[in-house]
Amino acid sequence: MEKLVCRRNTSTASTTLFRLVAEARSRDGLTIADALGLMGRSGFGFVMLLLALPALIPIPGPFGMIFGSALAIVSLQFAIGFESLWLPSLLANRRISAKAFEALERYASPLVRRIEHFVRPGRMKAFAGPRIPYLLALPVFCLAVAVALPIPFGNLAPVAALCAIAIGLIERDGLVVLLGLGMTLIALAVTAALVYAAVGVIPWI
């Protein structure tokens, strides 16, 4: 069992991601608990970003299932109002190689910077305040489950929605948070369609 304390941080998502990858290189990899200890102490937005982005890594490994499951567990704890986050040891002690973190930076950074380009800190801040994570926990949980599902190309839309919500929270931009919620509806509809298609294909296999 692992517990992690979340505190606020004024770093942007892209700069924090850069520091995380640099730390992974220096240690030749990090466990999920290590990464959350470095990045997750900044609050729900950073935790979401860290646990969503690895699903984009196009290298062998069940990254979507592992990190999606971790995010689902964490989102429920934010809904309850926990300050210290807990993950099962099976997930918390899962070690991610430095190579995987470098791939994360290569593939995820462009998406993060693209979203940050539209950010205006303090805009519609009522939708990005300190109580909002409690209200976002349910849609984030649904997105996390979608990320965890073993569906080919099924991660892209949920991860994009999660990134928008996360960066909106990090930068206190309520409009970007609302945009992420709109993307959530699209992502869940796409996931449902992919699941329906997959179930229809199974009898033919």
Residue 200 pLDDT grade (very low, low, confident, very high; cuts 50, 70, 90): low
Give the structural domain span for 119: 2-204
What mean pLDDT, rounded, does the chain reach?
82
Give the helix/strand (H/E) hosting 56.
Answer: none
Statement: residue 9 has pLDDT above 80:
no
The per-residue pLDDT for range 93-136, each reduced to its tens digit, is: 888 888 888 888 888 888 888 888 888 888 998 888 877 878 88
- Count Cβ atoms below 10 Å from residue 132 Cβ, excluding itself: 20
Residue 30 DSSP SS3: strand
| C-alpha span between 193 and 190 (Å, rounded) | 5
Q: What is the pLDDT of residue 83?
A: 65
Q: Specify the number of domains making up the chain.
A: 1
The per-residue pLDDT for range 155-184, each reduced to its tens digit, is: 889 999 999 999 898 888 999 999 999 999
The per-residue pLDDT for range 114-126, each reduced to its tens digit, is: 888 888 888 998 8
Take residue 57 and report the two structure tokens written for it: 């890594």
Cα of 122 vs its chain's centroid, Å? 22
